Chains A and B, each alone.
Chain A
């Protein structure tokens, strides 16, 4: 304590307050930027629970001519090859349609019993992002997972159920309902259990696993396979303006195109990077202020430090009070900044949840804490080494 009493002389409170304030501002901006980016990232990705946001679904526009079969809505080999050639295309995939009869029925105490004719399509499994154990089918399996368009549920909940006085159903609930699917064709019939494994905004179709459709087409199908009418395209960046231009020129449609989301995500990234840069600059300025302040303090205490050395004190013992001071201030700044980020996060996270009701905010604060901790560590290291250097210079 004697050392502290001695060396705290000439300590400039305004300078230290300046360091705390600037450091706090810089670090909070950095941490807030990181946290905000982590929290809002899901909003700029597609809400499809299973389809990668970089995928686009392409089909030809249906016109009077196509109804008259003069202009086919299927893609020719040549057209597919041309799409594959485009720079923005990473990968393509095709839809397989069911060539057999399907009847789905559900019976429950709430809904009574109803049934409907329907169809299935499938896409290659690597385009599907449902957990793999949910999205498999083998010939021994009497159970089919299916994915339906989210709009069907909306249609039911806000149109049909409302007008018929039936209860509305949530996504979670519908995933628990068991369906019975009857497959027939080629003079054969077979019953399967089915359940809804996910919802899609982008694909207006009923999806079943590809392995099931291949098997069932061979077993019950009665038509040779034809050219695909819809193509899945994986892009490098869905916000790429070339995409809209190319498909527009070809007169193809992009289902539920989220090019604007891609642009917004890009813009968001730009803003976050700018904010992080500003935060970093302020933090660097704060560190410079602290280093300058310490240099000045050590310089003003030059004589005392020399006298301590002449008494036989080691440089590290003399440096320690300064190091403890700067470390405590830095830790204080870090905790303060982190607390403020948490408070603000609580405020905006409620807003986000209200604005985007189906947004899942599954990000957490650990990453931000880790980032802050690394920055803190670097700041402390710089301070400790700088003080040691300055005391050594003074002691010479």
Chain B
């Protein structure tokens, strides 16, 4: 997958006047593999909605989203599965981790599907992120910041063309998000993927090709 095109996409809940200042909503825009995008706006402008639309979780929008030449609105269950395990990885704002499992099991449940990383590589990522001590701790006992790092590690355990980070560093201090950013940047570079970072304005430690106001 090389491009994600948005043709006059607008969430149904927004009126046209509400999205008038946006460089994405109700515009034609194309995201390309290999580039890094910062998508910034204040709260409530639809950053999570945008990622939900691209991730095919919701389709309460007008306009069309096109992957390469395929309109995603008609994607069936198999195509969505393919998309989520091979082409797009997303760090959810709400993490979507499983509190019944331990930290490493939360990562393994994704990796088991994709077989993308070895157990050793996963453990190394935990070490780099400075949460190796919590590897076998039930997720429910971790802090928000620790959970956020687990979610980031999980998102790297799959092949992807686009990596979407939805306020993925909101609970991390500068030292920690710097480490996370370098880990992510390495993986994105390895996979020659596109990086799409949604934030309130903070650019974190990435080098962007485009900064877009939502």
Contacts and interface: CB of A to CB of B under 8 A. Distances in A.
Interface of A: 2-3, 5-6, 9, 304, 307-315, 395
Query: Most chain-B CB neighbours within 10 Å: which of A6, A312, A314?
Result: A312
Contacts of A9: 100
A313 B100 contact: no
A392 to B, nearest CB: 9
Contacts of B158: 312
Contact of B81 (A304, A307, A312): A312
Interface of B: 55, 57, 77-78, 80-85, 90, 92, 96-98, 100-101, 105, 108-110, 112-114, 158
Contacts of B112: 2
A interface SS class: helix
Query: Most chain-A CB neighbours within 10 Å: which of B78, B84, B90?
Result: B84
Contacts of A395: 77
A5 B110 contact: no
A312 B154 CA distance: 13
A310 B101 contact: no
Contacts of A312: 81-85, 110, 113-114, 158
Contacts of A6: 98, 100-101, 109
A312 B113 CA distance: 8
A310 B84 contact: yes
Contacts of B55: 310
Nearest to A303: B96
Given A307-B96, A307-B98, A310-B96, A2 B109 contact: yes
Contacts of A5: 100-101, 105
Contacts of A2: 101, 105, 108-109, 112
Given A304-B100, A307-B96, 20 more contacts: A2-B101, A2-B105, A2-B112, A3-B109, A5-B105, A6-B100, A9-B100, A304-B98, A311-B84, A312-B82, A312-B83, A312-B85, A312-B110, A312-B113, A312-B158, A313-B113, A314-B77, A314-B78, A314-B81, A315-B77
Contacts of B81: 312-314
A6 to B, nearest CB: 6
26 contacts: A2-B101, A2-B108, A2-B112, A3-B109, A5-B101, A5-B105, A6-B100, A6-B101, A6-B109, A304-B100, A307-B96, A307-B97, A308-B109, A309-B80, A310-B90, A310-B96, A311-B84, A311-B109, A312-B81, A312-B110, A312-B113, A312-B114, A313-B81, A314-B78, A314-B81, A315-B77
Query: Most chain-B CB neighbours within 10 Å: which of A310, A311, A395?
Result: A311
Nearest to B154: A311
The 10 closest A-B pairs by CB, nearest first: A312-B85, A312-B84, A307-B96, A2-B109, A9-B100, A312-B81, A311-B110, A6-B100, A312-B113, A6-B98
Query: Most chain-B CB neighbours within 10 Å: which of A2, A9, A308?
Result: A2
B1 to A, nearest CB: 15
Contacts of B114: 312
Contacts of A3: 109
A310 B80 CA distance: 9
A312 B81 CA distance: 4
Nearest to A314: B81
A360 to B, nearest CB: 60
Contacts of B100: 5-6, 9, 304
